[in-house]
């Protein structure tokens, strides 16, 4: 586990030292959150966050002058990106997190034996089955005005050059909402809102709630097998 040590105006991790400047700069004007406070937050959550970032390309949304000013988006393209699906009926264990915005992300760990297109096809097929079986609740319609208040199964995120927010990331929005790993019963809470978990409130949760995604790395599913099960389910 990589630890991060911050002292004397610099941060040290894994043998690398980075100088820290302007730590008093306010990045979230409405909340008074400074660059130093954001750095300290990531130091605190590093142990929970970093295990889910290994072997993944990282994109970073930077706000050098605060979240109300111009954003700089740094992105490395992915050669492979795993799919997602609500998969209780397929005997698959999925994991869910908030995005810090209005949506939820559902993650399914894969064994990488199939390529990107196969994984994407599985996500698309699963979303279509959900929408067909629950047309009053779920839709794959991209146009907002055609969704009619239904849950949007956003398969477009499973595309080349698309990004997904990392667990424990602070969003560059008023309130400093945090993308938070959830238990499924929490995701089903009708009172769940983007502002429930923030930079200033997430620490207590991390201290009291065990990692909801523990065991994810030990479950790696085969896409071809999952698609076969899905086809059988769709034919019912």
d(CA 84, CA 82): 7
Helix ranges (DSSP H) in the chain: 35-49, 116-133, 184-187, 202-208, 223-234
- Which pLDDT belongs to residue 82? 30
Beta strands in 52-103 (DSSP E): 60-62, 72-74, 95-98
- pLDDT of the residue at 81: 29
Residues 6+ away with beta carbon under 8 Å from 220: 109, 110, 111, 112
Residue 56 is predicted with a pLDDT of: 67
Phi and psi at residue 23, to the nearest 5°: -70, -15
pTM comes to: 0.68
Q: What is the mean pLDDT of each run of 10 residues along the chain (236 residues)?
A: 62 75 90 90 85 72 86 53 51 89 88 88 89 87 89 83 88 94 87 90 91 87 88 75
Could you tell me the domains of the chain?
80-167+213-236 (3.30.70.3300)
**10 phi, psi to nearest 5 deg:** -150, 160
- Cβ atoms of residues 213 and 166 within 8 Å: no
The C-alpha atoms of residue 122 and residue 114 are separated, in whole angstroms, by 11
- pLDDT (0 to 100) of residue 34: 92
Cβ(76)–Cβ(60) below 8 Å: no
Buried b (16+ CB within 10 A) or exposed e, 193-219: ebebbbbeebeeebeeeeebbeebeee
pLDDT score recorded for residue 77: 37
What pLDDT is attached to residue 232?
84
What is the per-residue pLDDT for 5? 61
Give me the pLDDT at residue 149, please.
84
Q: Give me 102's structure tokens.
A: 């209005």
The reported pLDDT for the residue numbered 75 is: 57
Chain-centre distance for alpha carbon 170: 11
Which pairing describes strands 138-139 and 151-152: parallel, antiparallel, or unpaired?
Answer: parallel
β partners of residue 177: 198
pLDDT at 79: 34
């Amino acid at each position: 586990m990589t630890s991060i040590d911050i002292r004397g105006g610099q941060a040290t991790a894994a043998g690398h030292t980075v100088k820290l400047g302007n730590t008093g700069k306010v990045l979230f004007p409405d909340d008074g959150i400074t660059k130093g406070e954001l750095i300290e937050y990531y130091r605190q959550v590093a142990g929970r966050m970093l295990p889910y970032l290994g072997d993944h390309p990282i994109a970073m949304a930077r706000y050098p002058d605060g979240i109300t000013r111009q954003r700089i988006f740094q992105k490395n393209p992915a050669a492979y990106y795993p799919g997602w699906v609500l998969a209780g009926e397929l005997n698959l264990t999925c994991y869910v997190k908030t995005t810090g915005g209005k949506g939820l992300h559902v993650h399914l760990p894969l064994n990488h034996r199939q390529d990107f297109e196969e994984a994407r096809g599985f996500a698309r097929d699963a979303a279509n089955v959900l929408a067909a079986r629950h047309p009053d609740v779920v839709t794959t319609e991209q146009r907002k005005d055609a969704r009619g208040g239904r849950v949007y199964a956003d398969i477009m995120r499973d595309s080349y050059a698309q990004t997904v927010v990392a667990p424990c990331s602070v969003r560059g929005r008023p309130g400093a909402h945090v993308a938070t790993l959830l238990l499924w019963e929490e995701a089903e809470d009708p009172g769940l809102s983007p502002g429930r978990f923030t930079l200033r409130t997430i620490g207590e949760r991390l201290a009291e709630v065990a990692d909801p995604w523990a065991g994810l790395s030990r479950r790696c599913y085969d896409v071809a097998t999952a698609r076969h099960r899905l086809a059988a389910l769709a034919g019912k």
